[in-house]
């Protein structure tokens, strides 16, 4: 579904990504793990078209999208969930949910489907964005993108800053999303969380792919990875 070949990314004279090759197959959940500054967010932003200074190619469903603006990528089915979650504080849960336009009516989750998958959002549909916990904000941010019709979810550290019980909830939701056929590429620093949701993993180091592992290999090497990642 997504294929990245020889991707370089730059911030002015500084090169943040060096020849990254990566694939995500339809229905897969794939993580990007790596230390702070390894280039994970830059890679995710480049896939969404939010980081322009790149060389190499990004292909989605066989189409070269490297030079395509983000809104056109959204129409093709890419959905971006930023790390600060981007919830509008003055709007209600339902207003936040229904604000972004549906980009693919055939794939878009209905509001009812969202509320079935995320019952906590149904309970809080009239609550203001300001009153949501970190976990509820994360759920709303994911639900909002699914409602637009995204088929590839790009998630930047969904477990960051959340209490362990909420991290479990987010994990269950990711597994539910996967079961519904949505493909996910996520940045994740939490190795245990990554191992519990994903099919495959790319370990980034200094802007390059150090290794890619299936989940069995990744799980077997968890302790080594924790040490390597400095956690
Ligand atoms: P983190 O987990 O800390 O977000 P990351 O793996 O997502 O790390 P990036 O944020 O993609 O890494 O950063 C990759 C490299 O690009 C780092 O060396 C970082 O300092 C640099 N970088 C990131 N954003 C900018 C920016 N706006 N201007 C200049 N350099 C940047």
| CA–CA separation, 153 and 81 (whole Å) | 7
Question: Domain segments of the chain: what residues?
Answer: 2-228
| Residue range 133-148, pLDDT digits in tens | 888 888 899 999 999 9
Q: What is the pLDDT of residue 86?
A: 77
Cα dist. 89→142, 163, 227 in Å? 16, 21, 38
**Ligand 1 contact via 41 beta carbon (within 6 Å):** yes
**Distance between Cα 135 and ligand 1 center (Å):** 25
The preferred substitution site among 41, 156, 189 for testing ligand 1, maximizing ligand atoms within 8 Å of CB, is 41
- 8 Å CB contact between 132 and 87: yes
Under CATH, which architecture does the 2-228 domain have? 3-Layer(aba) Sandwich (3.40)
pLDDT at 122 over 90: yes
pLDDT at 21 over 90: yes
**Ligand 1 contact via 11 beta carbon (within 6 Å):** yes
Work out the mean pLDDT of the chain and round it to a whole number: 91
What element of type H or E holds 175?
Answer: helix 164-179
Q: What is the pLDDT of residue 166?
A: 85
Q: What is the pLDDT of residue 181?
A: 87
Residues 6+ away with beta carbon under 8 Å from 146: 79, 108, 109, 114, 117, 153, 177, 182
Q: What is the pLDDT of residue 90?
A: 87
| Higher-scoring residue by pLDDT: 201, 227 | 201
**Distance between Cα 81 and ligand 1 center (Å):** 17
- The closest-lying atom of ligand 1 relative to the alpha carbon of residue 156 is 7
| Residue range 155-186, pLDDT digits in tens | 999 888 888 888 888 898 899 889 888 999 99
- The closest-lying atom of ligand 1 relative to the alpha carbon of residue 34 is 6
**Distance between Cα 41 and ligand 1 center (Å):** 7
**Distance between Cα 69 and ligand 1 center (Å):** 21
Find how far residue 21's CA is from the centre of its chain: 18
**Distance between Cα 117 and ligand 1 center (Å):** 33
- 8 Å CB contact between 32 and 188: yes
| Residue range 197-221, pLDDT digits in tens | 999 999 999 999 999 999 999 999 9
Burial of residue 218 (number of CB atoms within 10 Å: 0-12, 13-18, 19+): buried
Quote the percentage of the chain above a pLDDT of 70: 99
Q: What is the pLDDT of residue 231?
A: 61
DSSP three-state, residue 146: helix
**Ligand 1 contact via 37 beta carbon (within 6 Å):** yes
| Residue range 66-119, pLDDT digits in tens | 999 999 999 899 999 877 777 888 899 999 998 888 888 888 899 998 998 889
- Look up the pTM and report it: 0.91
Tokens encoding 70: 């983000």
Confidence at 1, pLDDT banded by 50, 70, 90: very high
Q: What is the pLDDT of residue 104?
A: 85
**Ligand 1 contact via 45 beta carbon (within 6 Å):** no
């Amino acid at each position: 579904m997504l294929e990245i070949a020889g991707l370089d990314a730059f911030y002015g004279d500084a090169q943040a990504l060096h020849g990254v090759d990566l694939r995500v197959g339809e229905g897969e959940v794939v993580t990007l793990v790596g230390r702070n500054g390894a280039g994970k967010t830059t890679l995710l932003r480049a896939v969404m078209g939010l980081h322009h200074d790149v060389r190499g190619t990004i292909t989605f469903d066989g189409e070269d999208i490297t030079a395509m603006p983000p809104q056109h990528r959204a129409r093709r089915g890419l959905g971006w969930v930023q790390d600060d979650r981007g919830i509008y504080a003055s709007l209600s849960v339902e207003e936040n949910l229904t604000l972004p336009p549906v980009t693919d009516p055939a794939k878009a989750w209905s509001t009812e489907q969202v509320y079935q998958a995320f019952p906590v959002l149904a309970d809080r549909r009239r609550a203001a964005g300001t009153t949501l916990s970190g976990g509820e904000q994360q759920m709303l941010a994911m639900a909002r993108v699914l409602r637009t019709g995204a088929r590839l979810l790009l998630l930047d550290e969904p477990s960051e800053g959340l209490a362990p019980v909420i991290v479990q909830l987010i994990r269950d939701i990711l597994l539910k999303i996967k079961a519904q056929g949505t493909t996910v590429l996520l940045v994740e620093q939490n190795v245990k969380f990554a191992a519990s949701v994903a099919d495959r993993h790319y370990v980034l180091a200094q802007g390059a792919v150090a290794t890619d592992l299936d989940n069995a290999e990744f799980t077997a090497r968890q302790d080594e990875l924790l040490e390597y990642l400095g956690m």
